[in-house]
A and B are shown apart, each in its own frame.
Chain A
């Protein structure tokens, strides 16, 4: 069977599976449809949360980013897992005790004010929309490869499918569909990793393979990779840092606290049966997430190694990489490169006209290396490989069987579609329910509410799709910005709502405005106002990353700090919190008497 036919078959089968389960579970219970995870065992709930969590950023984009960044890519790994520790201890059990369904509901009762709720909804919308932009980039990558079209076309087709998916989004809430999705995702991610780990190190467990010996040499795989990338003018794989250690530190903080501030993650912990379950659910979610996240570094390093070894045949043996015959001829390039060239995400430009592909770091600071490259007649790196294609291309580069390549495509599509649909639902609920129905148009009928939700969803898709075609960063980078926005606005307000009995509405409101405002300002200075290219204004500050060399993707942590400071300053200058609110905070702190989650 041809690869394309196999891909259609596997993708078709997996989607039939999701739909089948959705249909079966739907007939079984309607309550489950509304209360995701209600009455479900923490292990199952954890698995479903894992599927919710693993989006295009984790599945499609992250390993490519880590492969490109090397050691410093760990900020994604630690950032997107460490946040669960915060979530489990600081938020999940208390939000569960609060007994509300959504984050805006929490703001409404804890901060006793409509203004606080509106500000919170705006923060959620800004963060979620940015998140979807990243997802749409991933959707574009997955669909362009799946259908053999350009990545822009991929985004447009993806937009239509995501919309349909989200409208029938009730099935998002069905836990067992997500369990199936998780299984497909994790198989699609680990099977190629196992194959490749076996090929390169003889060890079938990727987590051990990465620390193993490179087959056919006396060197550790990572040592070999260090040599290879160093020979090609890149920084050493095991020590390369993005910008500075300070930037890496702040970036990690931003992702961690952003995890604990994003609505679609938090929402699952509102509805577990007990406070006790809220604690262990976070643990189980992290177990299932960790399966992918501890595999990702192996995928990253091995894909990088294979990519270099494919393009320069002397890389593996450690021979003369500058010999003319070492670089492969363009007209003899492997099939996978041709397939990805169609999408426009892989580009070749024969700068020195020798008909061969030279792929190296032409902005290297190693003058000795540059001199050698110059002497060999290399006129600049000739291959542009979009980081977001690495995971999907990885099994093709490693010449794995067609069914593995097809499985990875199915996993990528599921990851991108499910999270994008989940976020769209969160956005539409925030606008139609929290903003319109509960505040601006109280006499809105149920039908009108549904309609408003759909319109909001369609608008969000069009905006996110357009911006996703020309994204501010790779998918994982864009999603990181979304985490920064959530970190700087929602997380501090939630924390103070639980851990400070005296925090009042004025403090929370001004804290959120200051934190989000600062973060948006800094991000937009680098990526353009509302991510529109050409409207960047970092120039007025003289250089990029002007705040202590911190990149815009990492700035959310600083925004959060500003949020806390402003909130406490304003609180001390304004009227104290009413007594009944302080009493409520007191009661939230003990699990007893949690009862069922209350509908609004």
Chain B
């Protein structure tokens, strides 16, 4: 039990880390740090960096939470720790 719980927690932290990487790259990365460079690419009338900052990152945030919830559900089942 001890061992599997440790492994479970490790997997959870791994998932959180991966989600946070995407979360960081789309908002702080594309939306702020590299916005200037991305602005040279156009998405319709949007400069891409501007789009990421004012639109894109919000869509990605929504997707990330649902992806996280789904993958967490899988991990819970795998380790049989889900609620009854």
Complex CA–CA separation, A561 to B73 (angstroms): 32
Taking chain A's interface residues, is the majority helix, strand, or loop, or is none over half, making it mixed? helix
In contact, A290 and B83 (Cβ under 8 angstroms): no
B52, chain A: closest CB distance, angstroms:
9
Choice from B45, B65, B73 contacting A84 with Cβ under 8 Å: B65
**In the complex, which residue of chain A has the Cβ closest to the Cβ of B73?**
A276
Within 8 Å CB of B20, what residues of A? 85, 89
In contact, B81 and A591 (Cβ under 8 angstroms): yes
B20, chain A: closest CB distance, angstroms:
8
Complex CA–CA separation, A88 to B62 (angstroms): 11
Within 8 Å CB of A287, what residues of B? 62
Within 8 Å CB of A283, what residues of B? 62, 65-66, 69
Complex CA–CA separation, A245 to B23 (angstroms): 18
In contact, A252 and B16 (Cβ under 8 angstroms): no
In contact, B47 and A85 (Cβ under 8 angstroms): no
Task: Please provide the chain A residues from 412 to 430 with a CB less than 8 Å away from any CB of chain B in the complex.
Answer: none
B53, chain A: closest CB distance, angstroms:
4
* Residue of B51, B58, B59, B68 with most chain A CB atoms under a 10 A cut-off: B58
Query: Is A297 close to B, CB under 8 A?
Result: yes
Kindly supply a per-residue 1/0 record for chain A positions 96-118, scoring 1 wherever the CB is within 8 Å of any chain B CB and 0 otherwise.
00000000000000000000000
B59, chain A: closest CB distance, angstroms:
7
Choice from A74, A248, A589 contacting B9 with Cβ under 8 Å: A589
What's the tally of chain B residues with a CB closer than 8 Å to chain A?
A: 45
In contact, A85 and B61 (Cβ under 8 angstroms): yes
A221-B45, A238-B47, A249-B28 known; A290 vs B62 contact (CB < 8 Å): yes
Query: Is A213 close to B, CB under 8 A?
Result: yes
A103, chain B: closest CB distance, angstroms:
21
Complex CA–CA separation, A283 to B9 (angstroms): 22
Within 8 Å CB of A220, what residues of B? 42, 44-46
In contact, A286 and B83 (Cβ under 8 angstroms): no
In contact, A71 and B72 (Cβ under 8 angstroms): no
In contact, B32 and A245 (Cβ under 8 angstroms): yes
Within 8 Å CB of A81, what residues of B? 57-58, 61
What's the tally of chain A residues with a CB closer than 8 Å to chain B?
A: 50
Taking chain B's interface residues, is the majority helix, strand, or loop, or is none over half, making it mixed? helix
B10, chain A: closest CB distance, angstroms:
11
Once A and B bind, how many residue pairs between them come within 8 Å at the CB atom? 137
Within 8 Å CB of A223, what residues of B? 45
In contact, A238 and B73 (Cβ under 8 angstroms): no
**In the complex, which residue of chain B has the Cβ closest to the Cβ of A71?**
B50
A89-B16, A279-B72 known; A594 vs B83 contact (CB < 8 Å): yes
A325, chain B: closest CB distance, angstroms:
31
Query: Is A586 close to B, CB under 8 A?
Result: yes
In contact, B32 and A293 (Cβ under 8 angstroms): no
Choice from A249, A275, A290 contacting B59 with Cβ under 8 Å: A290
Complex CA–CA separation, A51 to B47 (angstroms): 31
B16, chain A: closest CB distance, angstroms:
5
**In the complex, which residue of chain B has the Cβ closest to the Cβ of A253?**
B28
Choice from A89, A90, A274, A290 contacting B58 with Cβ under 8 Å: A290
Within 8 Å CB of B81, what residues of A? 590-592
Within 8 Å CB of A297, what residues of B? 54-55
Complex CA–CA separation, A160 to B64 (angstroms): 42
Kindly supply a per-residue 1/0 record for chain B positions 10-50, scoring 1 wherever the CB is within 8 Å of any chain A CB and 0 otherwise.
00100010011001000110011101100100111111001
Within 8 Å CB of B73, what residues of A? 276
Within 8 Å CB of A77, what residues of B? 53-54, 57-58
A34, chain B: closest CB distance, angstroms:
22
Choice from A212, A276, A280 contacting B44 with Cβ under 8 Å: A212
In contact, B44 and A71 (Cβ under 8 angstroms): no
In contact, B36 and A239 (Cβ under 8 angstroms): yes
B15, chain A: closest CB distance, angstroms:
8
Task: Please provide the chain A residues from 531 to 566 with a CB less than 8 Å away from any CB of chain B in the complex.
Answer: none
A499, chain B: closest CB distance, angstroms:
8
Choice from A78, A275, A591 contacting B53 with Cβ under 8 Å: A78
Within 8 Å CB of B61, what residues of A? 81-82, 84-85, 286, 290
Query: Is A222 close to B, CB under 8 A?
Result: yes
Within 8 Å CB of B51, what residues of A? 211
Interface pairs (18), CB distance under 8 Å: A66-B54, A74-B50, A78-B53, A82-B23, A89-B20, A211-B45, A220-B42, A222-B45, A222-B50, A238-B47, A274-B83, A275-B83, A279-B65, A280-B66, A283-B65, A294-B58, A297-B55, A590-B8
Across the A-B interface, give the 9 residue pairs with the lowest CB-CB distance, nearest first. Answer: A220-B45, A74-B53, A283-B65, A211-B44, A279-B69, A211-B46, A297-B54, A590-B81, A211-B45
